[in-house]
């Protein structure tokens, strides 16, 4: 029987990053993955392909709406949907191939197939059983189902996020159920491709839990881009044929059930942890009430030598949270001090403009009775944003009213997903808004808006 120090189950961002760190720390490591390619949901059917489509359709939007005013005249490009999907597949291939290269480079064995854990210290893949001192479960998540709605990605009428990346053609009418991250990113893609997109959302605001100012501004901007919203609507079911669907919802405020017609329905109402086939029941691994693997502060399950990270445990279902846990658990296994600061995990929506948040929201802090100060700066006052026609949005920084320590931030605007990291670093170092305000920021950059928001926590922004 081959034996390892660590076998990681699942080669998504949590699993493959964990395997690399284990190998770097001198542990003999293998990774189990049943998909044809490495990289998990994120690289194969999630973050990366959606970003390729968001990028391609953003270029189209620019050509259709903004080129002429910059003196770029001529016919806008027409859409070759199959070619766009090939471009996306090429991007996926480069990324998954990159992970395979990294496995080889770090001498990590890829055990191809689906894993089960017959006993602590053993992992079975196909007919082969391997001995291992440690197991890291990084089996991820899958789209959660909605009662009364049957997803069929093959027919392509009622689809989840995976099916939405592979639609045979661009639909005329698309209904998106759920105004969360997936619904808004993929809804944006199809709206830019010319679909009439209607988002049906149970709550009264988009992206539940996000900063309220951002939610309001975000929805307005998306409406300007042509997305329609039906808020406060609980979807009860979908009736589908092979070519069309009817989405039925109940308005929260009461009244009769309403029906909306669609050529394609995207179900984007959340994801659930995935641990099927691992044999966790028989192994006696404790689960939470929400179906996640229960872990302690060092990602250990109740079974000695078995750890779990990423979407399959509690916390936000984000690739970078899984990566951080993957590195940290490797450190723990190697006898070092793995650590993740759950208070500083950014969240990003990759629409145009991007939306990025970190730390606590103003409302949550106020609800706790904390005295806070808020500094806000609009991209209207940012020269660079104006030069590229992306002056919609703002930076908002929330600080402790007495100490000026940064407690959270939200950005809606160009490159928000990159800019948020300045605030993340500030928070990691316990910085004050004044620390950010006293840091020289290059001109002309979008990041100046972060400094201006920090200035407005004190004596005031300059360009407001
Ligand atoms: P989500 O939890 O972000 O949003 C789901 C939305 O569906 C919520 O607003 C909810 O109120 C609504 N909803 C639920 N049931 C409903 C019903 N019956 N009728 C109407 N509305 C209903 O889930 P989403 O967008 O599917 O994303 C899943 C996970 O994947 C999330 O944890 C997300 O963070 C992650 N993800 C992250 C991305 C990123 O970081 N850019 C991109 C894509 C996914």
Contact 265, 197 (CB under 8 A): no
Atom number of ligand 1 nearest to Cα 200:
20
Alpha-carbon span 346 to 57, nearest angstrom: 25
Distance 204 CA to ligand 1 centre (A): 14
Confidence of residue 170 (pLDDT cuts 50, 70, 90): very high
Half-sphere exposure of 135 (CA within 13 A, CB side): 28
Query: 6-30 burial by CB neighbour count: b if 16+ within 10 A, else e?
Result: bbbbbbbbbbbbbbbbbbebebbbb
Confidence of residue 1 (pLDDT cuts 50, 70, 90): confident
Q: Is 168 in the pocket of ligand 1 (CB under 6 A)?
A: no
Query: 116-151 burial by CB neighbour count: b if 16+ within 10 A, else e?
Result: bbeebbbbbbeeeebebebbbbbbbbebeebeebeb
The alpha-helical segments, DSSP class H, found in 157-287 are: 161-164, 181-192, 212-224, 280-283
- Mean of the pLDDT values across residues 332-354? 98
- Mean of the pLDDT values across residues 177-196? 98
Q: Is 201 in the pocket of ligand 1 (CB under 6 A)?
A: yes
pLDDT at 141 over 90: yes
Query: Which residue CA neighbors atom 14 of ligand 1 most closely?
Result: 269
Distance 270 CA to ligand 1 centre (A): 4
Q: Is 203 in the pocket of ligand 1 (CB under 6 A)?
A: yes
Q: Is 349 in the pocket of ligand 1 (CB under 6 A)?
A: yes
Q: Is 234 in the pocket of ligand 1 (CB under 6 A)?
A: yes
Amino acid 354: pLDDT: 98
Distance 203 CA to ligand 1 centre (A): 11
How does DSSP assign 238-272, residue by residue?
EEE-SS-EEEEEEETT----EEEEESEEEE-S-EE
Cβ neighbours of 347 (radius 10 Å): 19
Atom number of ligand 1 nearest to Cα 268:
26
At 365-401, the pLDDT tens digits run 999 999 999 999 999 999 999 999 999 999 999 999 9
Atom number of ligand 1 nearest to Cα 183:
25
Q: Is 148 in the pocket of ligand 1 (CB under 6 A)?
A: no
- Alpha carbon distance, N-terminus to C-terminus of the chain: 68
- Mean of the pLDDT values across residues 59-86? 96
Q: Is 350 in the pocket of ligand 1 (CB under 6 A)?
A: yes
Contact 280, 119 (CB under 8 A): no
Based on the number of CB atoms within 10 Å of its own CB, is 176 exposed (0-12), middle (13-18) or buried (19 or more)? buried
Confidence of residue 236 (pLDDT cuts 50, 70, 90): very high
- 443 catalytic? Reply is yes
Query: Strands 354-359 and 406-413, how do they pair?
Result: antiparallel
The rounded mean pLDDT for the chain is 98
Alpha-carbon span 185 to 58, nearest angstrom: 11
Catalytic residue (one of 65, 339, 421, 443) = 443
Q: Is 348 in the pocket of ligand 1 (CB under 6 A)?
A: yes
The alpha-helical segments, DSSP class H, found in 25-160 are: 40-45, 47-65, 81-105
DSSP state, residue 69: G
3-state secondary structure of 325: helix
Distance 451 CA to ligand 1 centre (A): 31
Query: Which residue CA neighbors atom 38 of ligand 1 most closely?
Result: 181
- Mean of the pLDDT values across residues 91-120? 98
Alpha-carbon span 261 to 198, nearest angstrom: 10
Distance 277 CA to ligand 1 centre (A): 25
Question: Residue 256 contacts by C-beta under 8 Å, 6 or more apart in sequence?
Answer: none
Contact 43, 96 (CB under 8 A): yes
């Amino acid at each position: 029987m081959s034996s390892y120090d660590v076998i990681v189950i699942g080669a998504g961002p949590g699993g493959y990053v964990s395997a690399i760190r284990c190998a770097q720390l001198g542990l003999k490591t293998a990774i189990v993955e049943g998909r044809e390619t490495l990289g998990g949901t994120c690289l194969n059917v999630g973050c990366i392909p959606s970003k390729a489509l968001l990028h391609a359709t953003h270029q189209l939007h620019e050509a259709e709406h903004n080129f002429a005013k910059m003196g770029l005249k001529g016919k806008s490009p027409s859409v070759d949907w199959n070619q766009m999907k090939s471009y996306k597949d090429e991007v996926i291939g480069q990324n998954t191939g990159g992970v395979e290269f990294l496995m080889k480079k770090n001498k990590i064995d890829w055990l191809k197939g689906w894993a089960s854990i017959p006993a602590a210290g053993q992992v079975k893949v196909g007919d082969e059983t391997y001995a291992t001192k440690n197991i890291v479960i990084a089996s991820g998540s899958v789209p959660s189902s909605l009662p009364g709605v049957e997803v069929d990605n093959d027919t392509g009428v009622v689809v989840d996020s995976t099916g939405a990346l592979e639609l045979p053609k661009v639909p005329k009418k698309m209904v998106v159920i759920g105004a969360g991250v997936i619904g808004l990113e993929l809804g944006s893609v199809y709206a830019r491709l010319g679909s009439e997109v209607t988002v049906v959302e149970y709550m009264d605001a988009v992206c539940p839990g996000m900063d309220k100012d951002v939610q309001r501004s975000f929805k307005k901007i998306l409406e300007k881009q042509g997305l329609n919203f039906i808020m406060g609507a609980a979807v009860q079911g979908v009736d589908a044929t092979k070519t069309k669907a009817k989405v039925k919802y109940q308005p929260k405020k009461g009244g009769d059930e309403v029906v909306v017609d669609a050529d394609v329905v995207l179900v984007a109402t959340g994801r659930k942890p995935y641990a099927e086939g691992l044999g966790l029941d028989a192994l006696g691994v404790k689960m939470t009430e929400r179906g996640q693997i229960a872990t302690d502060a060092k990602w250990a399950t109740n079974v000695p030598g078995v750890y779990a990270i990423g979407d399959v445990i509690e916390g936000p279902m984000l690739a970078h949270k899984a990566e951080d846990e993957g590195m940290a658990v490797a450190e723990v296994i190697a006898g070092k001090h793995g650590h993740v600061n759950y208070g500083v995990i950014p969240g990003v929506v990759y629409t145009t403009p991007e939306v990025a948040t970190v730390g606590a929201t103003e409302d949550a802090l106020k609800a706790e009775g904390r005295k806070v100060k808020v500094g806000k700066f609009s991209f209207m006052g940012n020269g660079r944003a104006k030069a590229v026609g992306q002056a919609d949005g703002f930076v908002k920084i929330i600080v402790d009213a007495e100490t000026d320590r940064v407690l959270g931030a939200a950005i809606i605007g160009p490159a928000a997903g990159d800019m948020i990291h300045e605030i993340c670093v500030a928070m990691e170092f316990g910085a004050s808004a004044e620390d950010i305000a006293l840091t020289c920021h290059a001109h002309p950059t979008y990041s100046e808006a972060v400094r201006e928001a920090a200035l407005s926590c004190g004596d005031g922004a300059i360009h407001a």
